Each structure stands twice: as structure tokens, then as C-alpha cells.
Amino acid sequence: MIRWIIFIVLIGVADYYAFQSLKTVTKSNWWYVLYWIVTFAVIGHFIYQFFGFNRSAGFSQANALAVGFLIAMIVPKLILITVMFAEDVFRIPQGIYSYFMQDDSTSGNQIRHFPSRRKFISQIGLGLASIPLASILYGMYKGKYNFKVLKYTLHFEDLPKAFDGYRLTQISDVHSGSFDNIKKVEYAIDLINEQKSDVILFTGDMVNNTAQEMRPYVDIFKKLEAKDGLFSVLGNHDYGDYVRWENTEDKKQNLEELKFIQKEIGFDLLLNENRFIEKEGERIALVGVENWGKGGFKKAGDLKKASSKVDKNDFKILLSHDPSHWEQQVINDDYHYHLTLSGHTHGMQFGIEIPGWFKWSPVKWRYKYWAGIYEELGQYINVNRGFGYLAFPGRVGIWPEITVIELKKGEKPA
């Protein structure tokens, strides 16, 4: 109830300022009518989707669109609030002073004048608000399929010589239930294959809610190819925990179906297990844990079990969906995990990033390691920004990612 009160107050304040700025800039009644039609349509659609939300079906594309359009409406209005409120910081005290302190010396009548809003301030506010509006709408229309191939080279002194120059491609967080353009997905799969990596590694969240979401894309993902194979782990969404199942057997069967789909595609699913890739008499270990995340997320991952057949001196690549696992358990483990591959954060699907120079997203306040390569105690983690999208049906500034990592033997160049 409190959340709804806060929501209503926020919407009310935002619309008060937004409509005032519109009235300052134009006197056209048609613009006023259009403003309120759009506002009530977006809010009404969101309320309809919220109260019609079916936990048995999970979060749907219609739910996501309702969230997306609400965000597209609210964020620009929050910009307007900031600009218009800044004007009121000066305007309101001036009005109070004029009302109580000034008078007409010739007539003795008090001047009851409240300064009107300045048109150019409203124009500035509307101009600034148009930037996030355009960005969000672009992110919903095109940004969610704006796939980027990010390439890294990592150096390790103890990398087996036979694997010098070895290339791996990582994808994560497919969230197939969110897709609405099968051609764009086909393009991304072709883009992955164009990298011609030695191995393809998937770090979890193939679906949003149920295994059936992946069915329309199985044949497309079957096209993935790498000479040393495809390997995967589960993410928190893959277990069906966000759906209200009629019974536990249905939930269990859903997970088994998802495992079968991964096998059908060609993924070797690592459930707290490991595999070795051998080359010229040398080997590297692939270690895959089930989901382990802090803050209420499923903790099915068992690092010790997953590494039970791995020698301490082996070169190890760990697949773990949630980067909080790396922070909480992996970094200080007795085994030295040379490279960990994670996803989960999506980079919040929103932020500002200039590759090689600057990156920022609100998700940094939740996750210390949220996008890209990090190094701690001589160990690396790559947090993939995600292949798909969830909840908000788009991406703004943080684009869908295909990671290509080349392993090199020797010291890191100065």
C-alpha cells in the first residue's frame, strides 16, 4: 500500500510540473489533450498489466512493454521536476516577498504579484527531458538488439604453452522469453560464429520463467559451433523460481526440459562439474557451478564439488552465473581460478559507457563487479553485459554483449 501511495504522489508531482512547463511553452489545447491522453494511456496500461499479472505464467512481453512505456514517461518528467523545482527555489521566495512586503505607495493597495514561469526555463527543461525520452524509446526499439563484440587479451605466466592464443567466446543471460524479433537473434548467432573461437561458453539464464520460452529459438542456437565444443551453466532464472507452479513435480519437470533443450542445442551443461580440454599433451580445466548469488538468490553452487577432479595446479576457467560468487567465495579460495566468467547484472541495461575510458550504471551500487574485466589477487573475472534483456524491454547505453577472450602465455605488457 505504501508503495502505491509513493507511486501516486510521484506521478502527481511529476505531472504537475510537466504540465506547467508545457503550458508555459504553448497555449495550444491540442497539445494539452494529447499530453493527458498519453499520460492516462501509459498509466492505465501499467495498472492493467500489474493487476492482471499471472504468477503462473511469469513475467510476459506485455508486462515488459508496460514497464518500458512507464519508464519512458516517468524519467523525462523527473528531469523536468529537477529543472522546474530549481526555478521555484527562486520564484517562490520572490512571490512571498512580493505578496507580504511590497505595496503600492500611491494607492496604499498591496501588490499581490507572483512571478510567472519563464518560458526559456521551461524550454530548457523540455529540451533536457527529450534526451532520456529519445534514448529510452531507441533502447526499446533498436538498442536491445544492438549487439557488440567486445574483445580482450589476458596474459597468464602459467598458461599451458599449447593454449597460447586460445580463443573463447562467452555469452550470458539470453532470456529468450523476452525476444520479439527472431531475425535479430539469428543475426547475433551468426555474429558469434564469425568470431571462430575455439570454445563457446554460456553463463546462465537461458529463459525468464519456463523452458518452453526457448523452443522457438532452438534451431537457431543449434547453429552455434566451436571446434572444442559448447559448455554452459545455469542461472537463477533457469530454475523456474519466479513462477507459481501447481506442484513441485511440474517445476522439476520444467528444469529437466531446460536441461534437455541445452543438450539438444549442443551445450555440455556443467552442474557443479568440470571438463578438461586437451591439446598437444596439455590441458586446461573448465569448472562449472550451479547458480550461487548473494542477497536472496539461489545458492545451489558447490565450488568444491565442481573442482573435485581438478588438480590445484591446473589452469582453471570457472563458469559462475553471478559475480557475487567470485567476490564472496572464489577470490580467496585455496584453488587459484585464473579466469571466471559471469553475467547476471545485465549492466542494468542502462548506463553511460565510453569503451576504454568510462563506464557507469546504477547497478554499481548493488554489484562491485558489474561489467567487463576485473582483476583481484592475480585472478580475472569477466562480467558479461548479457545477450538478451529482462523486465525493461530495451537497453540504453549498455548494449548486448558477445565477449571474445584470447589467452596469452607470458607477462602482461607494461
pLDDT value, residue 384: 98
How many domains does the chain fold into? 2
Q: Does 208 map to a domain?
A: yes
What gap in Å lies between CA 242 and CA 245, rounded to an integer?
A: 9
What gap in Å lies between CA 388 and CA 49, rounded to an integer?
A: 22
Q: Does 391 map to a domain?
A: yes
Task: Say yes or no: 163 and 121 in one domain.
Answer: no
pLDDT value, residue 97: 64
Task: Say yes or no: 300 and 355 in one domain.
Answer: yes
pLDDT value, residue 86: 79
pLDDT value, residue 51: 80
Task: Say yes or no: 301 and 178 in one domain.
Answer: yes
**pLDDT (tens place) for every residue of the chain, 414 residues total:** 687 788 788 888 888 888 888 888 898 999 999 999 999 999 999 988 888 777 767 778 888 999 999 999 999 999 988 888 777 777 777 667 666 665 555 444 555 556 677 888 888 889 999 999 999 999 999 999 999 999 999 999 999 999 999 999 999 999 999 999 999 999 999 999 999 999 999 999 999 999 999 999 999 999 999 999 999 999 999 999 999 999 999 999 999 999 999 999 999 999 999 999 999 999 999 999 999 999 889 999 999 999 999 999 999 999 999 999 999 999 999 999 999 999 999 999 999 998 888 999 999 999 999 999 999 999 999 999 999 999 999 999 999 999 999 999 998 777
pLDDT value, residue 115: 65
pLDDT value, residue 12: 86
pLDDT value, residue 231: 98
* Listed residues 141, 167, 196: the one ending a domain: 141
* Listed residues 119, 141, 163: the one ending a domain: 141
pLDDT value, residue 355: 82
Task: Say yes or no: 362 and 385 in one domain.
Answer: yes
Task: Say yes or no: 207 and 288 in one domain.
Answer: yes
pLDDT value, residue 113: 59
Task: Say yes or no: 276 and 399 in one domain.
Answer: yes
What gap in Å lies between CA 187 and CA 201, rounded to an integer?
A: 18
Task: Say yes or no: 225 and 105 in one domain.
Answer: no
Task: Say yes or no: 155 and 262 in one domain.
Answer: yes
Q: Does 135 map to a domain?
A: yes
**Total-model pTM:** 0.90
Q: Does 414 map to a domain?
A: no
Q: Does 111 map to a domain?
A: yes
List, edge to edge, every strand of the sheet that includes 267-269. Answer: 148-156, 401-409, 166-171, 199-202, 230-232, 267-269
Domain that holds residue 72: 2-141
Say which CATH number the domain at 320 has: 3.60.21.10
What gap in Å lies between CA 273 and CA 318, rounded to an integer?
A: 10
Task: Say yes or no: 136 and 157 in one domain.
Answer: no
pLDDT value, residue 83: 87
Task: Say yes or no: 400 and 279 in one domain.
Answer: yes
pLDDT value, residue 91: 72
* Listed residues 141, 161, 184: the one ending a domain: 141
Task: Say yes or no: 309 and 332 in one domain.
Answer: yes
Task: Say yes or no: 171 and 125 in one domain.
Answer: no
